[in-house]
A and B are shown apart, each in its own frame.
Chain A
């Protein structure tokens, strides 16, 4: 009796087993992507079992197939298959044809205003040849398309050096991943493929010989060779990207500021300068030199003395700005509004000035020299002279707004030049161009690696814009391309488990339960 019952159940068991075999075969095929014996055997066994079951009960099967539920089922099955086919085809189509919207915070996939301006200056065709194995640099290809879209003078080609070794040899290619920029007989090779790399290389071919910038060294200034957070490697790199040659200058040994100095940068001197050094800087400025001076609250009094000659007083305390500073750090002012000047006209990002001091233009500014502020702290700020207790002391601390950066320049080349970007020196005024220019910032930390490389901040743009203005490269003053922001989520073990169980297990299980419930109700 029992064995008869078991025999009666065999077809049903065979059907379930056959269906399971087919599903297993399908699963293995989806995972491995290969139709081999691992797929063929369970598929064959499954189909054979299903065929056997069907042939054992042909009448019942035929009845089921003709039944109402079979019609419903087959229609649902057809709908599912068609829907999956549509999704698959749509995915394939969208992979080859795309529309682009740049929704990133930094507009990482939109060309910066600097690139647009530089491309606008092209006098002739610029040829960009990128040597990458086929399909290995889709981001670069997208970027080059954008360059081409902005300027029809940009002509580019992606060369697979393995496929086209002749072109690679013609260019004397040494390394894959090289991009060659050619413009009016000049050539620049770069190995990066970011917008800043490309734009800098184009700029170098346009400008030719780079101007030279000297960073004063020997008094505790920011070390432009240092990769540390407080170092200045990023400042150096940013200036090199703008086609400047950057060097350090030890005035004690050099004796004077070199003739080829486009700008002298004094980035936070901490100790006293020798008398000869002070004299050399004063002579340089008097003879129409350009200087970028960053001073700190406890900085070198020699530098303060130099600035005093030009009517600029360096504060003796730290700017405290509770209204516009990092959370719980009022000694780290955040600047979000800038005075209108050629340096800051495009600035929209905030800039940070940890432990800044004030730089105030006094009435003693020499005649013929204009002093214009670049930005100030808010009205609620003050210059804290006693940093042990951060509290405004009336009569002791100076109340805001406090100027944190300003420009100085000889007036006869257009006093409003920095303040008014519309006013440019007239043609033929080249001689007047050798007049003094100075940018004074009451902080040197703002140019350190930590703040320069933060894409959320505008410190880099401010630093480079100021240098460009000093070097009389006003055309380069703009907003630069930002490096892509790395957004990583670091999860703890518990968080990882939560993500795993909630998305990979709970949700599918919930769908399964809901489907089962609906099926049960409809049954």
Chain B
């Protein structure tokens, strides 16, 4: 039984460990991979009580009155298309970024986030509020730069989703009017 080999291995471990520490860890040159895709929000869709979207100078505020009814409170007061709004809330709740940029949010102007084209505010039953803003499109036009308030991460979110969210502002999701029965049509002659 020899402890000599163990000692030699221990010395080798210390040497390699020191080399790694000095050249990679301390200098920060180690490769850091950014997460490929990330969930933007963590709220549960059923907890959402309000949704407001501002885009192109237009705003729409939506309020969930009960489990089966959404109302538009701005720009007009009207009943909202329940399934349309619920669908959007679910999509927002499971919103996934194509890519996340971390540690680069110093200059938001680079991504157009200093003058966002869209802002969405999501209120939950417990009084919390999530706000996201969308800035420029990425150079290839496939995604928007999106940022959550008070979170130092920029998300690249598919253009199609942001376009659908902005539609809430430009086309408030009114409930489809219930068709009223008209006068009976005369049967065709002959």
Contact = CB atoms under 8 A, between A and B. Distances in A.
Interface of A: 71-72, 75, 78-79, 82-83, 85-86, 89-90, 92-93, 95-97, 131, 133-135, 161-166, 168-169, 173-176
B29 A163 contact: no
A431 B34 CA distance: 62
B30 A96 contact: yes
Given A85-B13, A92-B24, 8 more contacts: A79-B6, A85-B17, A86-B12, A89-B16, A95-B31, A162-B138, A166-B110, A169-B139
Q: Please name the 5 residue pairs, one residue from A and one from B, whose CB atoms are nearest each other, closest first.
A: A168-B139, A82-B9, A161-B139, A89-B16, A173-B139
> Which of B16, B31, B101 is packed against the most chain A CB atoms within 10 Å?
B16
B33 A75 contact: no
B13 A89 contact: yes
Nearest to B104: A163
Nearest to B10: A82
Nearest to A134: B34
Contacts of B29: 96
Contacts of A166: 110
A398 B104 CA distance: 76
B6 A165 contact: no
Given A96-B30, A161-B139, A163-B101, A86 B16 contact: yes
Interface extent on B, as a size class? 20 to 34
B70 interface: no
Interface in B69-125: 99, 101, 104, 110-111
Given A79-B6, A86-B16, A72 B140 contact: no
Given A93-B19, A161-B138, A162-B101, A86 B9 contact: yes
Given A75-B1, A161-B138, A162-B101, A89 B20 contact: yes
B1 A93 contact: no
Interface in B1-53: 1, 3, 5-6, 9-10, 12-13, 16-17, 19-20, 23-24, 29-31, 33-34
B34 A165 contact: no
A92 B20 contact: yes
A78 B1 contact: no
Given A133-B99, A162-B99, A162-B101, A79 B9 contact: yes
A168 B140 CA distance: 9
Contacts of A71: 1
A328 to B, nearest CB: 52
Interface centre among B1, B13, B29 (most CB of A within 10 A): B13
A423 to B, nearest CB: 52
A164 B106 CA distance: 13
B156 A162 contact: yes
Contacts of A86: 9, 12-13, 16
A521 B146 CA distance: 67
- Looking at A89, A96, A133, A169, the one whose CB has the most chain B CB atoms below 10 A away is A89
B23 to A, nearest CB: 7
B156 to A, nearest CB: 6
A165 B139 contact: yes
B99 to A, nearest CB: 6
B110 to A, nearest CB: 6
B61 interface: no
Given A75-B6, A96-B30, A163-B104, A176 B20 contact: no
B140 A176 contact: yes
B152 to A, nearest CB: 15
A116 B163 CA distance: 50
A90 B16 contact: yes
A78 B111 contact: no
A162 B146 CA distance: 12
Contacts of B140: 161, 173-176
Given A72-B1, A162-B156, A83 B16 contact: no
29 contacts: A75-B1, A79-B6, A79-B9, A82-B9, A82-B10, A82-B13, A85-B17, A86-B9, A89-B16, A89-B20, A90-B16, A93-B16, A95-B31, A96-B24, A96-B30, A135-B31, A161-B139, A162-B101, A163-B104, A164-B110, A165-B111, A165-B136, A165-B139, A165-B145, A168-B139, A169-B139, A173-B139, A173-B140, A176-B139
